[in-house]
Structure 1
Amino acid sequence: MQALKEAQKTVVSNAPSAIFPANLDVEYVISFRYANGGQPAQTGDSSTPEEQLEKLLHTLDLAGLRTVVRDGGDGTLLIFTRIRSEKKLLGEIYRSRVRDWLHGIRPAAPEKETQQSIEKEPLTDGERLRLVYSLITLPNSEGGAGITPKQGEWNLVQSIFALHDHDFNKKWLKDWSTKWLIGPEDLKVIRDRFGEKIAFYFAFIQWYFIALTVPAAIGLFAYLFLPAYSSFFAICNCLWSVLFVEYWKRQEIDLAVQWGVRHCSTVQRKRAEFQFDAEATDPVTGEKIRYFPAYRRLMRQLIQVPFALVAATCLAAIIAGVFSIEIFLVEVYNGPLKMILKFLPTVLLSVFIPIVSTILTNFATRLTEFENYENQDSYEAALTQKIFILNFITGYFPLFLTAFVYVPFGEILVPYLDVLNVTVQHFGHDEKYTTSDTGFQINPSRLKAQMIYFVVTAQVVGFVLETILPQVKRTVFKKAKEFDSRRKGIDTQTVLDPPEEKKFLERVRHESELEVYDVTVDLREMCMQVSIFKRWEV
């Protein structure tokens, strides 16, 4: 890492870099796979892993990045990167801020003397990481290296990630654990360290937490003093929903202006994965313009229609089937093991829905890539629309079945489920093993019970799936790989690390195994939670 440490001496002195000394001055790490199971990895063309690695290092060097390579274990290499020099960093800062000014994001043009500009507006860790990430991922025509993990000529690049600052994380968690609310300074710390997207997420979560106290108070009052299905409670919820959204819009604009990212969506960065059909020259600027015909993208987008139908059919069939089993076991069946069998629908949903949703999400991602969007914002918007369709079905369909099928038509449809009674009687002819003779009756509290599940129980299940399950999976898969390697006689031990780097490299190898965090996933989860509360609480 000595080369990266030497590069640190040439970095802008006024730019805060608390995150980098803790990580031996590394800004980003690129995970590169050169072998699978002891055999050379397949590059997808006639080149070898060694040639792709050499090309990768050369491309990063041309983009203005300094690199150091270390063994990552399990057939991977870790490529540590940082910006090469002060001159390169100053140039990127100036270009970025001028671009923002031209698009109306910044109120005034930055100082021509970049050093003076940095003294007036210091470079944050978040901005610096964004600039370096742009150098790695932007296409060559935009001045970047055009690295696209697991795609095209860079199919052996597994991931690109920044390292954690564990000292900062511990201090941050300790500080926030003693507060009920976070203030503007706390949000500024998050914004400066992790960027605006993460800061906006925390700002929204805090506003959501505060705003929920209003319907909670109204709900408690309605529970104690008002009858069930109160019109007053419904009207109050509707008014709260409107005020909640409108106030957040105002707060969102205020934060965007305060953080200098108002209208930032006007800055469109091209995707390195974009495949153009032809090039043309702009008659005004003389710039080379690469384009993809709109009608061809439209034809590809039409594939969304059968995808939506197939996704809806698959998820709806699973949910409806489990819903029928649940109705039968809970409200029709009166045989043995009923107290245990009534949990079967929950187990089935917990097993099958995540699996099918993951398959459909992966297909939606590939479909969005096939649509070949030029800009990252357009790509993310198209992918979000597809995933929202899946979330809408999994989140709303069970409630829809209860509210619009079970309640109005349950007495007609549910008795047909008693056909399963034939199977029950085959194993026991005693009356206690058959369905109840009292006849089926609609359960009016079923919708309320489902709402409680989605608002409370489902959040606990989600916490387990998002927090605990990934750790269990990593541990199990790691043990399985070690067992398989020992069985095949493959040495999984890494090369001897330099003593001064050993602890650091062990931490990096562990972080390279973590899943990529996408803040939009958490935002979608919050949106679904708010929408379920707004629509079905009424």
Structure 2
Amino acid sequence: MASGSAPIGFQGVEMAVHGSNEYSQDHSPPGEAAGSQLAGVGSPAYDSELTPLKREVAQGSGKQTVFFKDGKRRIDYVLVYQVYEEQEQEWRDKREQKRQDYFEQLKGEGLELEEDHEAFDKKSIFVKVHAPWKTLSREAEALSLKMPREENNYVRKGWWDRMIENMRCSIKSPFNHGLEDMQNYITLPFSKAKQKSFIGIEDKDKFFTPAQRSLMVNGILVRTPYSREKSKVGFERLLANKAIEAAYPLHSGGSDVPEDEEQNERSVLRHVWARWGAWYKYQPLDYIRRYFGEKVGIYFCWLGLYTTWLWPAAIVGLLVFIIGCGISGDDIPSKEICDDNLTTLFYMCPLCDVSCDFYFLKETCYYARASFLFDNGATVFFAAFMCLWAVFFLEMWKRTEVGLAYRWDVLGYEEQQELPRAVFEATVKTKKENPVTGRLESFVPTVTQLTKLMRALSVVFFFIAVVIAAVIGVVVYRITVVAAMNENNSLRQFSSIATSITAAVIQVILITVLDKVYQYVAVLLTEWELHRTQTEHEDSFTFKMFLFQFVNYYSSVFYIAFFKGKFTGYPYNYNELAGARLDECGPGGCMIELTQQLAIVMVGKQVVNNFVELLLPKLKAWWRRRDTKDEDPDDDKCVQRWEEDYDLADLNQYGLFAEYLEMVIQYGFITLFVAAFPLAPVFALLNNLIEIRLDAYKFITTLRRPVALRAQDIGIWYSILDGVSKFAVISNAFIIAVTSEFIPRTLYSYTMSPTDDLKGFVNFSLAYAPIRTNFDGTLPESSLKTIYNQVHDHQLKAPGSNALYNSSDTCRYRSYRQPDGTRKVFWWEYLTSALAFVIVFEHVIFAGVALVAWLIPDVPADLKEQMQRVSFLGEQALREREVESEEREARPTSDV
């Protein structure tokens, strides 16, 4: 399968969705197909179901193996424990008893165990777990695991898919990942009674892939009790109390096998996928799914599609920025601010009440020009473009997701096949008849669920209040630092940018610290809620975390965009907080500060996350290996596969949550505030081109192999993305209307300027305040010198006015007010225009959203037809095989 790459992943994803096999030359059963398909990287074909060094390499041969000592039974899972000599005997005895009880229960479930006491570190004991055919077939039937029954040669494509295929054909050679397309099969739920009708059943050792075997064994490990008390189930609790150190399935082999040597599944993915040089190539999604399972495969598919769709957003955003750079030199308000001839006209009031000095607006010339780069008519267009872009992206993901779920046999999995969590069944004692199956099942009463939900939400809202308090603390910091820097004439011109940058850095630190604390609390709350299925459990945890993270990451940005400077007041009537004047926007306006905050938080977060993702697993692996560094270097004892994997970092219980959260937070930055930062999609694209390969590298080389869990979609993340997209329409509308200068400039141009330009706009937007004393009864000596040496006796005429005024008697401040502090008529006109703009903008965008949703069906028409066709072929094949079986059984009798 040629599937999506980082930049062009969508094209390949569509190929995967519709099960295209026109490039596949291999029609062998699953067990045999893997070798020839994976040989596409220029290596000899190999049997993916065997150890990469083949079965002749058994324990004690000096080479690695993934089999028991007999060289025949595959290791499906590994449990690790240690005996702590430094602990009390009673402590050790309790844990030993739990382990032995657990191991006996596992044997009773049909698993075979083999202990290895010859670890390289001389202290770890590895318990290798094997599931024989009888156990696997039982579990496969219980899980309704779909297996191949018939080759699917159905190929029929709609106009969209034909267009994508034509695009792909022209770039297949340079962008193909080098692997052949996997064969597509008609699959049906496994049945022991009808097992002979499945393809590849002749070799039972290779019928289930290692990923499927690990999934089934994991299910047994999770639900098996380790005590006579049936509520004490699963190895998670044994891990928590140190009875077991680790539990994981094995990687198929080493990841750094040279390309001229025999490859394993892991090394193949390392060569063709998890390397920086493959940033422009398709992702081999079928192979990712085969090795890591559907949940990981869907994540990388979503990440590839999202990155692909960032290309048009980044290109348009870059064009908007270039347009802003091109027209910035013609911006009349910026010219007026920077004009030396108008310097004394814009003599600004102090930015604090006690020791701050007066200053000229010309000092903010740089900020005025920089602000216009991100605050012009082109950004209004881009905001609308991104709102519609988000809708198109989500609609196309729905189409991709349903096709991928169908191809990977997980469509309807959560509703029909997902089993209750072992902890839920063991803990919940109340039973209720399932109206669908008619069986008694554990359930939690609705009243109990609501009670737990309300208690959990109260804790969530408490932590949200903590975040808001932290934001207020940052606001107080801004007020204090601005006042302190404005006392120094040499630092005054840097006060705005210095305060914005340092406040943003403090915000990032607070975000990181609060995130760690809250995540620990969210885990405890979600476990306490006791959800029925793993999907419900993860969705609840995700929702709590996102509510908190939404406030944590975006609160400071929302403050600058919608609150800063809006309630400050005016000279001699300023509003105060904690005895200090409320924080207000600098002379350049809040838009440039909003842009700075977005750039620092977004880009800074991406850099930190990538650094942590790359470095942290390596540090954990080093920490595990630290005790073996003094071993004899001449020791020729082989470090076995299970020992090497033990040194790797473990994926946490919520698996891909951190990966999704990072991308969804980024998605919020490029949609919620894109009107203030058109370059956000550019930085997001650059980050994601690295992120795809970084995540791939992490999963292949630095993490233990995760259990190949199943999933049919990205879960609650889609609802979150949809909510963010809708909220982005409102957010961008208010940024343009309230924070940007677009509305007042446009209104002034059409109502106040006879030539329909912006001459005199700066002067018009600045109100006058009489110079009395410095608001506390004193006037700084430096201010007296400035007034009387530089401005005194300058009789200036305000643009558009015949009135002369003495600028040494007044100072200016940003507001549409009369000298007595009352609002100008223009301010009310602006307020009305801003409200009208918000209403029109929202209605137009939401109308476009509805139109897009109506034009693009969630399930492609040709996929519906294929689903019906495959269902028919599956039933037909089943009937034909049953008839053949009946005829075969009846033939000897008839001969007699």
| Structure 1 residues 163-217: Cα deviation after superposition (integer angstroms, max 9, x where no partner) | 3343344432332344344547x10000111011111111111111111111112
* 1:15 and 1:124 in contact (8 A); partners too: no
**2:288 match:** 190
| Structure 1 residues 77-98: Cα deviation after superposition (integer angstroms, max 9, x where no partner) | 4322121x22222333344336
**1:360 match:** 518
| TM-aligned CA deviation for residue 291 of structure 1 | 2.9
Quick one: distance in 2 between partners of 1:359 and 1:385? Answer: 16
**2:135 match:** 88
> Are the structure 2 counterparts of residues 258 and 327 from structure 1 closer, same or farther at C-alpha, using a change threshold of 3 Å?
farther
What SS does structure 1 have at the residue aligned with 2:208?
A: coil
TM-score (normalised: structure 1): 0.77
* 1:67 and 1:81 in contact (8 A); partners too: yes
Are residue 401 (structure 1) and residue 401 (structure 2) matched? no
Quick one: distance in 1 between partners of 2:574 and 2:126? Answer: 59
Quick one: distance in 2 between partners of 1:280 and 1:152? Answer: 32
Quick one: distance in 1 between partners of 2:603 and 2:429? Answer: 50
What SS does structure 2 have at the residue aligned with 1:119?
A: coil
Flag the structure with higher helix content: 1
**1:3 match:** none
Quick one: distance in 1 between partners of 2:278 and 2:521? Answer: 42
**1:426 match:** none
**1:24 match:** 66
Q: Which amino acid aligns with 2:140?
A: I
**Aligned partner of 1:258 among 392, 407, 411:** 407
> Are the structure 2 counterparts of residues 352 and 98 from structure 1 closer, same or farther at C-alpha, using a change threshold of 3 Å?
closer
| Structure 1 residues 456-502: Cα deviation after superposition (integer angstroms, max 9, x where no partner) | 222001112332245446657987xx7xxxxxxxx9999xxx97654
> Are the structure 2 counterparts of residues 283 and 381 from structure 1 closer, same or farther at C-alpha, using a change threshold of 3 Å?
closer
TM-score (normalised: structure 2): 0.48
Quick one: distance in 2 between partners of 1:38 and 1:471? Answer: 29
Are residue 114 (structure 1) and residue 217 (structure 2) matched? no
The gaps in structure 1 that reach 5 residues or longer are: 1-11, 422-438, 483-490
**1:464 match:** 611
Larger mean Cα displacement after TM superposition, 332-341 or 20-29: 332-341
* 2:231 and 2:423 in contact (8 A); partners too: no
| TM-aligned CA deviation for residue 55 of structure 1 | 0.5
**1:431 match:** none
Quick one: distance in 2 between partners of 1:463 and 1:262? Answer: 33
| TM-aligned CA deviation for residue 528 of structure 1 | 1.8
> Are the structure 2 counterparts of residues 296 and 404 from structure 1 closer, same or farther at C-alpha, using a change threshold of 3 Å?
same
**Aligned partner of 1:296 among 448, 469, 494:** 448
**1:150 match:** 237
**1:385 match:** 543
* 1:136 and 1:144 in contact (8 A); partners too: no
| Structure 1 residues 194-246: Cα deviation after superposition (integer angstroms, max 9, x where no partner) | 01111111111111111111111211221222562532112111111111111
* 2:239 and 2:245 in contact (8 A); partners too: no
Larger Rg: 2
Are residue 376 (structure 1) and residue 534 (structure 2) matched? yes
| Structure 1 residues 108-153: Cα deviation after superposition (integer angstroms, max 9, x where no partner) | 455644254142895333322211211211367xx99941412699
Q: Which amino acid aligns with 2:48?
A: A
**1:166 match:** 254
The gaps in structure 2 that reach 5 residues or longer are: 1-29, 35-46, 53-64, 68-74, 149-185, 256-264, 325-374, 676-896
**Aligned partner of 1:67 among 88, 96, 113:** 113
**Aligned partner of 2:321 among 223, 240, 245:** 223
Q: Which amino acid aligns with 2:376?
A: A
What percent identity do the matched residue pairs reach?
21
| Structure 1 residues 380-421: Cα deviation after superposition (integer angstroms, max 9, x where no partner) | 111111111121112211111111122534677999589799
* 1:30 and 1:78 in contact (8 A); partners too: yes
* 1:311 and 1:360 in contact (8 A); partners too: yes
**Aligned partner of 2:309 among 193, 204, 211:** 211
| TM-aligned CA deviation for residue 324 of structure 1 | 3.8
What SS does structure 1 have at the residue aligned with 2:606?
A: helix
> Are the structure 2 counterparts of residues 281 and 503 from structure 1 closer, same or farther at C-alpha, using a change threshold of 3 Å?
closer
Aligned ranges for residues 259-338 of structure 1 at < 5 Å? 259-266=408-415, 267-274=417-424, 275-279=427-431, 287-326=439-478, 328-329=480-481, 333=485
Quick one: distance in 2 between partners of 1:357 and 1:254? Answer: 35
| Structure 1 residues 505-531: Cα deviation after superposition (integer angstroms, max 9, x where no partner) | 541441267766711221122122112
* 1:69 and 1:77 in contact (8 A); partners too: yes
Comparing both chains, which one has the higher relative contact order based on Cα–Cα distances under 8 Å and sequence gaps of 6 or more? 2
* 1:15 and 1:118 in contact (8 A); partners too: no
What SS does structure 2 have at the residue aligned with 1:236?
A: helix
Larger mean Cα displacement after TM superposition, 348-357 or 145-154: 145-154
| TM-aligned CA deviation for residue 326 of structure 1 | 4.7
> Are the structure 2 counterparts of residues 261 and 513 from structure 1 closer, same or farther at C-alpha, using a change threshold of 3 Å?
closer
Are residue 78 (structure 1) and residue 177 (structure 2) matched? no
What SS does structure 2 have at the residue aligned with 1:90?
A: helix
Quick one: distance in 2 between partners of 1:535 and 1:354? Answer: 21
* 1:139 and 1:271 in contact (8 A); partners too: no
> Are the structure 2 counterparts of residues 222 and 328 from structure 1 closer, same or farther at C-alpha, using a change threshold of 3 Å?
farther
> Are the structure 2 counterparts of residues 319 and 390 from structure 1 closer, same or farther at C-alpha, using a change threshold of 3 Å?
same
**1:447 match:** 594
| Structure 1 residues 58-84: Cα deviation after superposition (integer angstroms, max 9, x where no partner) | 11111222222345769764322121x
* 1:411 and 1:440 in contact (8 A); partners too: no
* 1:14 and 1:118 in contact (8 A); partners too: no
Quick one: distance in 2 between partners of 1:74 and 1:314? Answer: 47
| Structure 1 residues 349-379: Cα deviation after superposition (integer angstroms, max 9, x where no partner) | 4544323222211111111111122221211
What SS does structure 2 have at the residue aligned with 1:406?
A: coil
* 1:138 and 1:272 in contact (8 A); partners too: yes
* 2:624 and 2:647 in contact (8 A); partners too: no
| Structure 1 residues 430-461: Cα deviation after superposition (integer angstroms, max 9, x where no partner) | xxxxxxxxx97745301111222243222001
| TM-aligned CA deviation for residue 52 of structure 1 | 0.9
**1:137 match:** 222
* 1:204 and 1:248 in contact (8 A); partners too: yes
Q: Which amino acid aligns with 2:270?
A: L
Quick one: distance in 2 between partners of 1:445 and 1:512? Answer: 42
What SS does structure 2 have at the residue aligned with 1:35?
A: coil
Quick one: distance in 1 between partners of 2:483 and 2:407? Answer: 56
| TM-aligned CA deviation for residue 278 of structure 1 | 3.0
**2:875 match:** none
| TM-aligned CA deviation for residue 262 of structure 1 | 0.8
Quick one: distance in 1 between partners of 2:270 and 2:637? Answer: 28
* 2:508 and 2:601 in contact (8 A); partners too: no
Quick one: distance in 1 between partners of 2:87 and 2:671? Answer: 54
Quick one: distance in 2 between partners of 1:19 and 1:325? Answer: 61
What SS does structure 1 have at the residue aligned with 2:441?
A: strand
What SS does structure 1 have at the residue aligned with 2:268?
A: helix
> Are the structure 2 counterparts of residues 467 and 414 from structure 1 closer, same or farther at C-alpha, using a change threshold of 3 Å?
farther
**2:658 match:** 521
* 1:30 and 1:161 in contact (8 A); partners too: yes
> Are the structure 2 counterparts of residues 529 and 327 from structure 1 closer, same or farther at C-alpha, using a change threshold of 3 Å?
farther
**1:429 match:** none
Quick one: distance in 2 between partners of 1:417 and 1:288? Answer: 61
Quick one: distance in 1 between partners of 2:435 and 2:316? Answer: 62
Quick one: distance in 2 between partners of 1:64 and 1:144? Answer: 21
